[in-house]
Every structure is written in C-alpha cells, then in structure tokens.
Amino acid sequence: MLFTLLSFAVALGLLITFHEFGHYWVARRCGVKVLRFSVGFGKVLLKRVDRNGTEWALSAIPLGGYVKMLDDPQPEAGGADADQAFNRKSVGKRFAIVAAGPAANLLLAAVLYGLLGLMGTQEPAAILAQPAAGTPAAQAGLQAGDRVEAVNGSPVQSWGEVRWALMDTLTSGGIISLGLETPTGQVTERSLTVPRATIEPDSGDLLKETGLALATPQPRVTQVVSGSAAEQAGLQPGDEIIAVDGRRNPSATELVGLIKDAPEQPLVLVVSRNGTQTQVTVTPQLHTEADGSRIGRIGVMLGAEFPMVTVRYGLLDSIVRGVERTVDTVWFSLKMMGRMVTGDVSVRNISGPVTIADYAGQTARVGLAAYIGFLALISVSIGVLNLLPIPMLDGGHLMYYILEIIRGKPVPDQWLETGQRVGLGLLAALMGLAFFNDFSRLFS
C-alpha cells in the first residue's frame, strides 16, 4: 500500500508540476509577473525568491503544484506592475499562457514515449496461438506459430506493438491486414474483418475474441524435488514438456491441472531434452489438501518463458515515434469520449484516483519501462482532460478567449459566473462517477 501511494504521489506530483511549469514558462515570455510557483500544496516548507520577484516554494502535500500570477494590480500600482498583470495582456497572449499547461503534458508524453524507444524494452515476440474456431482470425486462415511482422502495412516488432496498432480497429470495427511469417519461413498476408465493439469494463479481451492470442510457451522443468515422483520417473531440469497422454502442446496451467486430476494414475509425458524427444511415464503422488480434496503431485517446479525481442529505435526514430504515439493516444482518447456520449462505450470505464493509484503501483513494480509508459499515458490524459471546453478547466478559459476573439471584446461577467457554476457541477459529477466506478471495481 505504501509503495502504491508513493508511486501515485510521484506520478501526480511530476505530471501536474510539469503542467504548471508550462503555464509559468509561457507567462514569463509574455511578460506576466509570476508571484509564486509552488511544488505541492499546503504549508510551505522551503521557499526562495528569485531576481524576478517569483517565490519558488516547496509545500507539504506533494500532489502537484500551482502557479500564482499577478492578475488584478492594486490601484496604487505603477505602470510597470500593471503591464505585467495577466488580465491586461492581449487575448492572444492569455490564450497561449493557458494552452501551455496541456501542451506541456503532451510534450512530456512525447518525450517519455521517445525515451522508451531509445532505451529499449523487452517484449514478447508476436507469435500467434491457434485461433479459436469461428473467430475472424480462424476464418482468415491464421495458424499457430504465425509471426506478425506488419499491421495494416506498418512494421511491428513485438506483441505490444501489435496490440497498440490494432486497438483502434478492434474497438471501432473494420478490416485488419496482417503481414505474417509462417513457421516454415513463408511471408504472406491475411485480412480479417472485425465488428464494432461495445466496450464495458468487464468485457473480454477484444484481441482474443478476434482469435488473436499470444502463443503459450511450452512448460519447462526448472527444478525437480528430491525423492519425488518426477525424480523417480527420470525427469530432469531443462526438460520441455510437449505432450501429456497424447495431448499436444499443453500450457503450464493445463499441465498442472492434468497432474492434479490424476493422483496415483500413470501419465505419459513426451519431453524434449537437448533437442531430442523422449517418453517418460510418471505417476503423481496422492496429496490431501487442507479442505480434504485429493490431488496429484509429481514434485517439479515449472517455468514457461515467452520468446522475447528487444524493441529499440535510434534517436530520430524514437522522437518521431514518440510524437506519433502521443498523437494516436490523443485521437483514441477523443474517439472513446465521443463513443461514450453515443453509448458505445460505457461510462463505467471512467477511472478515478483509486484506479490510477493502483496502476501506478502495479507498473512501478513491473519495472522502469512500464512506469514510464504509465506516466506518458496519464500525462496525455491530463492534457486532453484540461483541453475539454468545460469552465473551470483550461479548455473552458480557451473557449472564452475564442468567444472574445469572435466578439471583439471580453465575454460578459454574467457568462463567466454562469459558466463557473455549470463547470463546477460538471466536474463534481464527473469526479463522483469516477469515485463510484473506482469503489465498484474495488469491492466487486
């Protein structure tokens, strides 16, 4: 729990502070006086005033930060101070200052995605399992062992890249073109048509429903317990189990289930040892569980390692891919919001701080690359959310500035007051729904 909260605090603090720095940086270049830049909220722990009169503060609650600008100068203020007030600047400069926060989040996401490409990640190779009968993949003629080399004409290196490339089409429906290399080395292309999906939080894996699944690696013996049935049968560490009683290519889970269901019954295993297949007969020993159930055990530790590839790009390619991934994520987010309005995507998919904190902890435990990917995704989400034309958000202010440009004068105060009330109500409803969904997932 502590690790999860710390991961969440670091993520939120970094992303919101970067957002506020975007406002600060453009404000300074537009000649606006910044009174305070605070990292965190609440009681100020440390502070320093720079030569421009900005107070840089470190506050007690590390969940973001804020920028306080000179807005309405005092009547006795001189001309210089008045000229540095935010509300005295042209509408173009005010627009740029407000838009800079979301833009900073999108820029950070592009940098993080580019960094992932530059540093390289270990991902499963895109080798397919046998598609289930009747699925679009089976109808298109895909076979077990086919390796995906391209999606809709764009090269892919790993299963993660395949999933990302297919995400939009899987949710919206359409035709998918896959460039494949068969187990015999033949290069071919297959096309499959997927229907438009209705997305619910408890929906199944859309890839699996399409018939596209990652091939399960063969279970491998990693350790043999001394005196066990496995040792007596001659099993050795490194043995790869390719068949059980005539059942070919069982997964590790299937193998464990077959052994549990056969106490004191001989099982014929076909194993690959040093490139040579051999047959072994093992009789699982009877074991009584705490609940009284009787299961079989043979006394081995099993492992199943997916074939892995290193996905890494050069500097220029990493930059380009970082920008492309950010643009694609923004577009996909907007499409999902639109489909949420039309009812194709359930509002139960909206997540709040509890779910985000959970993902922060999970990705941080997986490793640095997963956590960086999480930061990039949330940075995009913050940028997109803040650009929505809802009063109280940056997008709401931008909407007012656009109206000011069209009208040739600022919007009336009455409009601003009404917008504030509407915006506050919308945000409260959205936050309430997010918390409701969070706790529904937590207790369901």
As annotated, the active-site residues are 20
The answer to whether 147 touches 129, Cβ cutoff 8 Å, is: no
What is residue 19's three-state secondary structure?
helix
State phi, psi for 372 to the nearest 5 degrees.
Answer: -65, -40
Q: Which DSSP helix (H) or strand (E) runs through 123? A: strand 121-124
CA atoms within 13 A on the CB side of 290: 0
The answer to whether 40 touches 62, Cβ cutoff 8 Å, is: yes
Measured between alpha carbons, how far is residue 329 from residues 19, 145, 153, 155, 280 in Å?
18, 30, 20, 19, 51
Both structure tokens of 287: 């074991």
State phi, psi for 103 to the nearest 5 degrees.
Answer: -60, -35
The answer to whether 238 touches 273, Cβ cutoff 8 Å, is: yes
The DSSP secondary structure of 159-221, one letter per residue, reads HHHHHHHHHHHHHH-EEEEEEEE-TTS-EEEEEEEEPPPPB-TT---HHHHHT--BPPPPPEE
Helix, strand, coil in percent for the chain, rounding step 5: 50, 25, 30
CA dist., res. 157 & res. 27, Å (int): 42
CA dihedral (219, 220, 221, 222) in degrees, to 10, reads: -120
Sequence-ordered list of residues with C-beta below 8 angstroms from that of 136, at least 6 positions apart, any chain: 192, 193, 194, 210, 211
The answer to whether 117 touches 312, Cβ cutoff 8 Å, is: yes
The answer to whether 307 touches 214, Cβ cutoff 8 Å, is: no
Measured between alpha carbons, how far is residue 144 from residues 105, 124, 132, 138, 225 in Å?
41, 16, 10, 10, 33
Residue 379 identity: S
How would you class 391 by CB atoms within 10 Å of its CB: exposed for 0-12, middle for 13-18, buried for 19 or more?
buried
